[in-house]
Structure 1
Amino acid sequence: MQFDFFPSRTLTLYLAKLFATRILAVLIMLVLVLQVLDLLGESGDILAYHGNGQAQLMYYVTLRVPQLISRFLPYSVLLATIITLMTLNQNSEVISMRAAGLSAHQVLAPLLLTSLVISGLSFVFNERVVTRSFATLDAWQAVKYGPVPKDTGLRTNVYLADGRDILYAAQASGPGNTMTLTNVTFYVRDANGAILSETRAPTATYANPGWRLVKPRHFDVADTTSTKPISDLVAPGITPDKVRMTSIDSDGQNIFELSRSIEAMRAAGRRTSELEAAWWHKISGPLAALLMPLLGAVAAFGLARSGQLLIRAVIGMALGFAYFVLDNAALAMGNFGGYPPLVAAWAPFVLFLLVGETVLVRTEE
C-alpha cells in the first residue's frame, strides 16, 4: 500500500464524501450570510427605481449568487479542509490510518482528488454562468436598476491617444462607422506632453478617417485665445473599433471571448497585460481549491491531546488566507505592469504549492 497514491477504495470514498459534504455546508452558509448582507446594501438602490419590487430583488439575487459562489468557493474548501481534518484528528482516525501504514500524502489523496474535481466544476461554472451573471448585472447597474436597453455600444469617459494628441469624449454610442461622440475635447500636445491647444465640440461623427467636430471651438494655450479652428477634422488615427475596445470587462467574458478581445487590442497596438493576466487567472483561480488541502493539512497531524490542535488549525487558516492576499496583490501588480501576466497569475499558486508540500513533508518526517 505504500506504493499506492490512494488508500483503499472504501477509505477513499469515505474521506471524499466527508470532505465534499463539509464543503457544500460551508459554502451554503457563507453564500447565505453574504447574500443577505449584500442585498441589505443594494435593496435601497433597486427599489429606488419606480416600479421595482419583490421580483427585481429576487432577480438581483439570482445574478449575485453565482458571483458569490465563484468568489468564496476556495474559502469554503479551506474551511472545510480544516474542519474535516480536525474532526479526523480528534477522533483518532488519522492516527489509525497512519498506524495502518498510510503516508501523509495518502491520507490527503482523497481530499486532493475531491478538490481537483471541484476545481474543474468551478472552471466550467465560471465560464458558463458567472461571466454571464457579471455582464448582465453590470448592464443593469449601469441603468440604475431600470429596464436594460438593447446594446447600443455605449461607452463613457473615452480617452484615446492619437500619437502625442489625446481625444476625449464623455460618451460614445452607435454601431460601426455611424458612431457618434458626445462632449468631445481634442488636446494637441508637444514632445514633453504639455498641452498646446484644445478643441471642444458638443458632438463628433466619424469621417473615415478622422472625426468631424460639430460647432467646434479652439483654445490656444500660449495665446489664451479662443477661435474657430481652421479644420473640423481631428484624430485621423482613431477608429470606431479602437473606441469600442476601450472598455473590456474580463469578468464578463469567457476565456474564448477574452482571447479574441486580447488579439483585437494587440492588433490595434493597445496594452493587453491586464487582460492577459485575467486570462491566465481564469485557469489558476479555480485551481486554488486544489491548494487548500495542502495548506490546511497541518491540522491533520500531531496529537490532538497535546493541546496544539487549535494552533495547528489557525496556522492552516493563516496559510490559506495568505495565499488569497498574495494572489490579489500579484494580480494588482500585473495590472500595473509590475509583473508579467503569466507571473502575476501563477506565481502565488506555485509558491504556496511548494509551501504546502514543504509543510506536509516536514510533518511526515
Structure 2
Amino acid sequence: MLLDFFPSRTLTIYLAKMFAVRIFAVLAMLVLVLMMLDLLGKTGDILAVEGNGDAELWLYASLRVPQLIARFLPYSVLLATIITLAGLNQNSEVIAMKAAGLSAHQILAPLLMIGMVVAAISFAFNERIVTRATATLKAWEDVEYAAVPEDRETRANVYFNDDNDVLMGATLSGMGENSVLTDVAFYERDEAGMIVRQITADRATFAGPGWRLENASSFNVATASTREIDEIIVAEGVELGQVELRRVDPDAEPLSRLSDSIDALQGAGRRTAELEAKWWHKISGPLSAVLMPLLGAVAGFGLARSGNLFIRAVIGMALGFAYFVVDNSALAMGSFGGYPPLLAAWAPFFLFLLVGETVLIRTEE
C-alpha cells in the first residue's frame, strides 16, 4: 500500500479538488489586489496622454494581469498548500488518514498531481500569452502610453556605435531591411571622442550599407553653422545584425524564438549567459508549482492541539519564500557569469526538492 500513491479514488478527488479551488481563490485575490495597487500608480501616467480614457485603462489591465498571474501563481500554490494542509490538520483529517494507513507522501500525492497540472498550464500560459502581453506592454510603455504600436517589436531609445560615431533613434520598428529609425541623430566624432558634426532627421531607413537620412539637418561644431541636406548615408558600419541583436528580450520571447536569438548572439560573438539562464528558467520556473506542496507540507502534520500548528505554518511559508529568494539570487548570479546558466536555473529547484524531502521524511516518515 505504501507504494500506491493514490490508494483511494474518493480521497484523491477530495484533496485535489480542495487544493485546486484554494489555488484559484488565492491567485484571484492576489491578482485583484495587486492590479488595483498597480493601477493607482499608473492611471495618472496613462490618462495624462491626450485621447486616453477608460479603454486604455482596461487595455493596460488586460496586458498587466497575465504578468501578475505568471509571477504570483507559484506563491498562490504555496499559500494554498499551507491553507489546505493546516485546515486538514486542524480538523484532525490528517490524523484520520494516517490512522487509515496512509503515509505522508500518499497524503501529499494529490497535491503534487495538481502541482504538475498547474506547472503545465503555467508553462503554456507563459509561452502563448504572457510573452505577447509583455512585448506589447513594453512597446506601449516605451512610447509613454501614446498610441499602441502596431509592431510589438518596436524598441525605444536605441543607439548603435560605428567606431567612434554614434547613431541614435527614438524608436526602431520594422524587421530586416525594412527597419526604420525615427527622430534620428547621428554624431560624428574625432579620435578624441569629441563631436565634430551632428546630423538630425525625422527618420532613417536601411541603405545596405549604412542608413539613409532624408531632409536632414547638419550642424558643424567647429563653424557653429547649420545646413540642410536632401539625402545622406551615415553609419555604414551599423549592419542589420547589430540591429536585430538589440531586439532580444527574454521575457517577451517564447522558448523557440529565444533559442534562435541566443544562436544569433553566439554567432556574433556576444555573451549569452543571461539569456541562456532565462531560457532554462522558462522550464524550471513553472515547475516550482510542483515543489510548493512539498515545502509547505510541514504545516499539515504534527498535533494541532499541541499549539505548534501556527509555527509549522510559518516554517512552511518560510521554506517556500526562501526558495524564491534563492531562485532569484541564482538567476542574478547566472546573469553576471557567477554560475553556469544551467546551474543557475536548476540548482535552487533540486536543492529545495532535497530540503523538502528531508524535512518530510525525518519528521513524518
Of 238-247 and 202-211, the range deviating more from structure 2? 202-211
Q: In the TM superposition, what are the counterparts of 1:1-365 in structure 2 within 5 Å? A: 1-151=1-151, 154-160=154-160, 167-171=166-170, 173=172, 175=174, 176-177=176-177, 179=180, 182-185=184-187, 200-203=197-200, 208-209=208-209, 237-365=237-365
Letter in 2 for 1:142: D
Q: What displacement does 1:142 show?
A: 2.0
- Contact in 1 for aligned 2:139/2:154 (Cα 8 Å): no
Q: CA deviation at 1:236?
A: 5.6
Determine helix, strand or coil for the equivalent of 1:296: helix
Deviation at 1:51, TM superposition (A): 2.1
1:42–1:158 distance in 2 versus 1, CA, 3 Å: closer
Separation of aligned partners in 1, 2:19 and 2:61: 28
Cα RMSD, aligned residues only: 2.8
Q: Distance in 2 between matches of 1:335 and 1:226?
A: 46
Query: 1:144 deviation in Å?
Result: 2.2
Deviation of 1:246 after TM superposition, in Å, equals 1.3
Calculate the TM-score normalised by the size of structure 2: 0.86
* Pair 287,142 (structure 1): closer, same or farther in 2 beyond 3 Å: same
SS of the residue 2:187 aligns to: strand
Deviation at 1:334, TM superposition (A): 1.8
- Output the CA distance in 2 between the equivalents of 1:312 and 1:52: 50
Cα pair distance change 1:170/1:27, threshold 3 Å: same
Q: Using the alignment, how far apart are the partners of 1:345 and 1:7 within structure 2? A: 35
Structure 1 CA distance for aligned equivalents of residues 335 and 18 of structure 2: 39
- C-alpha distance in structure 2 between counterparts of 1:227 and 1:344, whole Å: 54
Q: Deviations over 1:198-231 (max 9, x none)?
A: 5543257756445689787899xxxxx8999xxx
Q: Alpha carbons of 1:357 and 1:172: their partners in 2 closer, same or farther (altered >3 Å)?
A: same
- Ranges in structure 1 where 5+ consecutive residues have no aligned partner: 190-194, 220-224
Aligned-pair distance for 1:49?
1.6
SS at match of 2:19: helix
Contact 1:197–1:218 (CA under 8 A) maintained in structure 2: no
Contact 2:142 2:155 in 1 (8 A): no
Relative distance call for 1:107 and 1:243 in structure 2 (3 A) is same
1:249 Cα deviation after fit: 1.6
Instruction: Give the TM-score normalised by structure 1.
Output: 0.86
CA change 1:347–1:199 in 2 (3 A) is farther
Name the amino acid aligned to 1:185: Y
Deviation at 1:31, TM superposition (A): 0.9
Note closer, same or farther for the CA distance 1:218–1:364 as it changes in structure 2 (3 Å cut).
Answer: farther
Change over 3 Å in CA distance of 1:154–1:118 after alignment to 2: closer
Specify every segment of 5 or more residues in structure 2 that has no aligned partner in the other structure, as ranges. Answer: 226-231
